[in-house]
Structure 1
């Protein structure tokens, strides 16, 4: 089994969320990594967080998001982070978190989160206009895509089966 290091940073380069995950495969949507129950992740240098349910994560090679797909009974089924496109080198995947999140709850409700943080960081970190536009366009697309398009409908379930 091959492990891959996942490293999210903020626009000012500070370490954000990071963890080790299992390589599950690649398809037309991107790279799929998995974390079995009781895996851990960490935000910056804060204490580790243990995840009781399995989850898988998709890293697109050219789109401005990553997506976490949580196993039941977690109420958040899909958590998509708006990010710069993922960069792949050896066994490390890195990207910059651009604050906005699109969340699909298990009951089908879709929420956009951290719009205030996105607005604040545009000023604080000096996001270029093209980064702001791409982040917002990706967020707008995801609001609909998480309920109408693959890999958000069934594709992820085959990867989730591998880490349960």
Structure 2
């Protein structure tokens, strides 16, 4: 079984979230990785966090987001990070987290955008180029609708969750 290191960085290259995940496969939506219950994740050099639920992540090719799909009982069913396109290495996937997040609660009716204030602040602090700002915002706007109306956000991810439960 192949393990892949997932490394999110911020625009200044500072280490953000990172963890090891299992390679589950690839389909038309992208590459899928998974972590069983009680796996660990870490933000920067902060203490590790144990994830009590299984989680799978989708890493689309040439898109400006990644998506995490959490098993029950976590209230956040889908958590999409707006990022630069993923750089796929043999055993490391890296991307730049661009702050904006689209979150779908488990009840499926509540979708919210998080960290808009951080996105605005970092545009100035890090000097995000205009095309990065535009693409990040367009991706965020699309995801708000897609997470409740389109695959892989409806049922496809569940087959991958089954593989890591």
TM-score normalised per structure 1? 0.99
Alignment partner, residue 113 of structure 2: 112
1:37 aligns with 2:37: yes
Structure 2: give runs of 5+ residues left out of the alignment. none
The count of residues paired between Structure 1 and Structure 2 equals 164
In structure 2, distance between residues paired with 1:89 and 1:139: 25
Residues 41-86 of structure 1, C-alpha deviations (whole Å, 9 max, x = no match): 0000000000000000000111100000000111100000000000
Alignment pair present for 1:131 and 2:132: yes
- Residues 8-157 of structure 1 mapped to structure 2, 5 A cutoff: 8-108=8-108, 109-157=110-158
* Structure 1: gaps spanning 5 or more residues: none
What is the TM-score of this pair, normalised by structure 2? 0.99
1:163 corresponding residue in structure 2 = 164
SS state at 1:19 partner: strand
CA-CA distance at 1:90 after TM superposition: 1.2
Rounded Cα–Cα distance in structure 1 between residues aligned with 2:123 and 2:50: 31
- Partners of 2:152 and 2:12 lie apart in 1 by 31
Runs of 4+ residues over 2 Å off in structure 1: none
